[in-house]
Structure 1
Amino acid sequence: MQHIKSPYIKDQYTKNGPVATVDLTGKTVVVVGANTGLGFEATKHFASMNPGKLILACRSEERGKAAVDKLKSETSYDRAELWLVDLGKITSVIAFADRFEGERLDILVANAALNPSAGYNTARDGWEESIQVNNIATSLLCLLLTPRLVETGTTYGTEPRIVIVSSDLHYMVNIKERVSEAKSPFQVLNSSEYCTANSQRIFRPFSRGAIEGHSCHRQHTQSWFAAVGGADDTDKLRGAYLNLNTPTEPSDHVIGEAGKRRQDKLWVDLVAELSKIDRRIPSIVQQFSV
Structure 2
Amino acid sequence: MKYSRLDFLIDQWSTLPPVETADLSGKTVLVVGANVGIGLEASKHFARMQPTRLIIACRSDAKGKAALAEIERETGYNGCESWIVDLANFASVTAFADKFEKEGGDLHILVMNAAVVLPDYQCTTDGWESMLQVNYLASSLLSLLLIPKLVAAGRKSLTPSRMVIVSSVTINWLIPAKEVKTSSKPLEMLGSEEWCTPKHIHSRYPESKLLNVFFVRALTDRLQAITPLSVVAVNPGFCYSQLRRFWYEKPTYSPVKIALAIMERLMAWTSEQGSRQLVFAAVSGQDNEENMKGGFVSYARLVEVTDFVLSDEGHRMQDTVWNETIDILKGVSDKIAPIVQDYLVNI
Q: TM-score range by the shorter chain?
A: over 0.9
Matched, 1:156 2:211: no
1:4 CA displacement: 5.0
Which residue does the alignment assign to 1:130? 131
Describe the SS at the equivalent of 1:193. coil
User: 1:154 is aligned with what amino acid?
Assistant: R
Aligned-pair distance for 1:78?
A: 0.6
Secondary structure class of the residue paired with 2:342: helix
Counterparts of residues 241-280 of structure 1 (less than 5 Å): 241-280=296-335
Cα distance between partner residues in 2 of 1:154 and 1:115: 37
* 1:181 Cα deviation from its structure 2 partner: 1.6
Rounded to whole Å, the distance in 2 between the matches of 1:95 and 1:210 is: 40
CA distance in 1, matches of 2:127, 2:53: 35
Counterpart contact for 1:64–1:82, Cα < 8 Å: yes
User: For residues 3 and 153 of structure 2, what CA distance do their matches in structure 1 show?
Assistant: 39
Instruction: Give the letter for the 2:195 counterpart.
Output: Y
Q: Distance in 2 between matches of 1:200 and 1:97?
A: 30
Q: Summarize the alignment of residues 1-290 of structure 1 with structure 2, pairs less than 5 Å apart.
A: 2-3=1-2, 5=4, 7-101=7-101, 103-118=105-120, 120-199=121-200, 201-202=202-203, 204=256, 206-207=260-261, 208-211=263-266, 213-214=268-269, 216-289=271-344
In the alignment, the residues of structure 1 paired with residue 341 and residue 302 of structure 2 have an alpha-carbon distance, to the nearest angstrom, of 27
Relative to structure 2, which stretch is displaced further, 226-235 or 279-288? 279-288
- Segments of 5+ residues of structure 1 without an aligned counterpart are none
Residue identity in the other structure for 2:260:
F
SS in 2 for 1:51: coil
CA distance in 1, matches of 2:188, 2:198: 15
SS in 1 for 2:101: coil
1:219-252 Cα offsets, whole Å, 9 max, x none, are: 2111000111112111111111111121111111
Could you say if the C-alpha distance between residues 278 and 200 of structure 1 is closer, same or farther in structure 2, counting changes exceeding 3 Å?
Answer: closer
Normalised to the residue count of structure 1, the TM-score between the two structures is 0.94
Unaligned runs of 5+ in 2: 206-255
Equivalent residue of 1:174, what SS? Answer: coil
Code of the aligned partner of 2:47: A
Cα deviation 1:9-41 (Å, max 9, x = unaligned): 221122212321011011110111111100110
**Structure 1 residues 211, 144: closer, same or farther in 2, change over 3 A?**
farther
Give the CA deviation at 1:263.
0.8
Q: CA deviation at 1:197?
A: 4.7
Distance (Å, rounded) in 2 between the aligned partners of 1:216 and 1:66:
17
Deviation at 1:218, TM superposition (A): 3.9
**What amino acid is the match of 1:5?**
S
Farther off after superposition, 167-176 or 139-148: 167-176
Out of 11-20 and 132-141, give the one that drifted further. 11-20
Q: Report the Cα distance in structure 2 between the residues aligned to 1:37 and 1:67, rounded to whole angstroms.
A: 10
Residue pair 1:27, 1:105 contacting (<8 A) in 2 also? yes
> Is the 8 Å Cα contact of residues 30 and 108 (structure 1) preserved in structure 2?
yes
Say whether the 8 Å CA contact 1:218–1:244 is kept in structure 2: no
**Runs of 4+ displaced beyond 6 Å:** none
1:171-203: CA deviation from partner (whole Å, max 9, x where unpaired):
111212211222211110001111115347448
User: Helix, strand or coil: the match of 1:194?
Assistant: coil
Deviation, structure 1 residue 165: 1.1
Percent identity of equivalent pairs = 40
2:9 and 2:267 in contact (8 A); partners too: no
Deviates more, 1:244-253 or 1:48-57: 244-253
Distance 2:23 2:267 in 1: 30
Contact 1:4 1:252 in 2 (8 A): no
TM-aligned CA deviation for residue 217 of structure 1: 4.0
TM superposition shift of 1:101: 1.5
Q: CA separation of 1:117/1:273 partners in 2, compared to 1, >3 Å: closer, same or farther?
A: same
- Are 2:184 and 2:320, in contact at CA under 8 Å, matched by a contact in 1? no
Q: Which amino acid aligns with 1:289?
A: L
Name the CA distance, whole Å, in 1 between partners of 2:319 and 2:276: 30
Partners in 2 of 1:16 and 1:44 — Cα distance? 18
Question: 3-state DSSP class of the match of 2:106?
Answer: coil
- Aligned residue type for 2:70: K
Measured in 1, the distance between the counterparts of 2:317 and 2:155 equals 33
What is the deviation of 1:82?
0.6
Deviation at 1:209, TM superposition (A): 3.7
Q: CA RMSD in A?
A: 1.8
After superposition, give the CA deviation of every residue in 1:133-157 in whole Å (9 maximum; x if it has no partner): 0011000000000011001111232
TM-score normalised by length of structure 2: 0.79
Q: Secondary structure at the match of 2:291?
A: helix
